[in-house]
Chain A
């Protein structure tokens, strides 16, 4: 399995290289002069020339490309056009917040979504099933910023249980958790709704399988049939969907981050976009690709834990 992981990571290299090349080309064909963007409209001709010289924009394209790759590999991702801070540093500063949030909402989603989905499937077309289905549909269609504001109103302002601004420092675990709670619940609700629906439909499929009939024919108690025989099979499509959704979630958590005033990749992306911070966007695209590759790898490894038919070869 270690060999499999190593091979997958090795395969990630060409993917990353392709993305970096694409990023390099995209930035060069975007209309407008980066030097002009950095220095503004009032900049003198001399200043522009000097800036181009400093950025290496007047050198041949292939030279620029080699430089770009070399710098990227050595950890020099350039500086933000807006703040002037090193890009890699800015990204690494917010990355832990994003990872916390994603993992926490995944845990909440799995913890509530899987039992709810199973419960709903077992009571198919009865009241609990309808309630769960409507509830999960609401959870999916409810805009994240509305639920975020509602959570803030109730738990931060009325009840005063959690901070209104979740930025906070990361000095202690307690503090991290306190700041994480509401944003994680907010995204966790969506995740729960998602996982509930997938688990329900997948469970219904599995309950009709021959091997479930075999399990009943053995005289096993219902709980053994459901939790040992059915659930593990039902989780296979759940892992697929969650894996796909996680990638989306990392970029889409921006609404939650904005409402809770919490740093994160999503907020960084939106900030860079609105301020035309091209260098920052370059870095974000690369890091985002990397995250997707890792998430896909983890998804594939999870398959192997659930389904013995998956071979790592």
Chain B
């Protein structure tokens, strides 16, 4: 990936610039990184998808950016997390509270449990407005009502004083989105916002997010393990494995030329209706636990193209010669011609 000037200022086209983010957890008396040296830049108005299996550190990356990693269990370190001329990696907790829910918002995976059951949705949506914008109760309510209309809650006015349990899962996720968008954030972090929903509702929520993004011009980091969603929604994709970004590219480029063996395997494991397959492809083996990470490539154990040096030395995330915007953490990027995929029996 091209080096950026390290003068502490994010280039103007970036909404967010994350450099060298490492988040560690205290397990059995030692610190183990769950997110290791993650760097990426989010352009303005862009949707960046963070993709990977459960536990690959994609949610933790978002939580780290938000400053929401519990202090007693986790430790977040970064060279810099630049947002609007501030370095969030060095911001005080008070400063982070100003940014959260205002400049950067987050939508979580579980709409059923992410809303407070004893507070009305009207209260919960207007809360951030009252806090960040200092609006009066009445003004905040008027604005909140407008946003609830915007996320297409039917008859929002009459439902303003309803409680979360009176809404369906999809409607609750709309409320969550309304809450996140209340202060018109520059960046929305969407952490698997559709995973817990029915497929038809998923499509509606994705459509809503796309529409809202177009209307507001915000940038979005969309965390998912669903590559179908990625193809539909994202401009760029970062594939994460074992806490690292292993490949990052424009969405069309990634789907056309998946270069990291893990990305390739992920794409192969999408069930397809247009091919006659008896079995679904699965990636053999398991993600190593964070307490027992191998020194070299973290994917080497499961990799079909493994060489001896893979397990000894760690590869850097570096751009492909023929596509500078496409970076991969694998020796394969240097190969002129990529070998045909070899299927390994699990």
Whether B100 and A219, one on each chain, are in contact in the complex, defined by CB atoms closer than 8 angstroms, is yes
Verify B101–A218 contact, CB threshold 8 A: yes
Chain B hits for A221, CB < 8 A: 97, 131
Chain B residues within an 8 Å CB radius of A233 = 116-118
- Interface centre among A219, A229, A308, by most chain B C-beta atoms within 10 angstroms, is A219
- Once A209-B113, A229-B119, A307-B118 are accepted as A-B contacts, the answer to whether A218 and B127 lie under 8 Å apart by CB is yes
B-contact bits for A207-251, CB 8 A (1 contact / 0 none): 001110111111111001000110011000000000000000000
Contact of A218 with B110 at beta-carbon distance under 8 Å, contacts A228-B119, A307-B117, A307-B118 already known: no
Complex Cα distance, B130 from A219, in Å, reads: 11
Q: Which of A214, A228, A308 contacts B114 (CB 8 A)?
A: A214
Q: Any chain A CB within 8 A of the CB of B211?
A: no
Q: Are A220 and B131 in contact (CB under 8 A)?
A: yes
Q: A209 contacts which chain B residues (CB < 8 A)? A: 113
Supposing A219-B128, A224-B131 touch, asked if A213 and B119 sit within 8 A by C-beta, the answer is no
Q: Please, how many angstroms separate the alpha-carbon atoms of A210 and B100 in the complex?
A: 16
Chain A residues contacting B179 (CB-CB under 8 Å) are 214, 218
CA distance A232 to B102 in the complex (A): 25
Interface residues on B, range: 20 to 34
A-facing residues in B184-241 (Cβ within 8 Å): none
Say which residue of B100, B118, B120 sits within 8 Å of A217 (CB atoms). B100
Q: Is A9 an interface residue (CB 8 A)?
A: no
User: Please, which residues of chain A bring their CB within 8 A of the CB of B102?
Assistant: 219
Q: Scan B154-192; emit 1 where CB is below 8 A from any A CB, else 0.
A: 000000000101000000000010011000000000000
Q: Is B25 on the interface with A (CB-CB < 8 A)?
A: no
In the complex, A217→B104 CA distance in Å? 9
* Residues of A with C-beta under 8 A to B76: none
A219-B163 in contact given A211-B116, A229-B119, A232-B118 (Cβ < 8 Å): no
Which range holds the interface residue count of chain A? 20 to 34
Tell me if A306 and B66 are in contact (CB < 8 A).
no
Note all chain A residues with C-beta closer than 8 A to B108.
210, 213-214, 217
CA distance A229 to B120 in the complex (A): 11
Q: Is the CB of B66 within 8 A of A220?
A: no
Residue of A nearest to B110 (CB): A210
Q: How far is the CB of A5 from chain B (nearest CB, A)?
A: 22
Cα–Cα distance between A231 and B102 once the two chains are bound (Å): 25
Closest A residue to B129 by beta carbon equals A218
* Given A210-B108, A211-B117, A228-B119, A216 contacting B68 (CB threshold 8 A): yes
Across the interface, which residues of A come within 8 angstroms of B78, CB to CB?
Answer: none
The answer to whether B117 touches A308 (Cβ under 8 A) is yes
Does B105 count as interface, using CB distance less than 8 angstroms? yes
Query: Which of A213, A220, A307 is B68 in contact with, Cβ under 8 Å?
Result: A213
Interface residues of B, Cβ cutoff 8 Å to A: 66, 68, 96-102, 105-106, 108, 110, 113-120, 127-128, 131-132, 163, 165, 176, 179-180
Given A210-B110, A218-B131; 13 other pairs, CB 8 A cutoff:
A211-B113, A214-B116, A217-B68, A217-B106, A217-B180, A218-B100, A218-B105, A218-B127, A220-B128, A220-B131, A224-B127, A233-B118, A308-B163
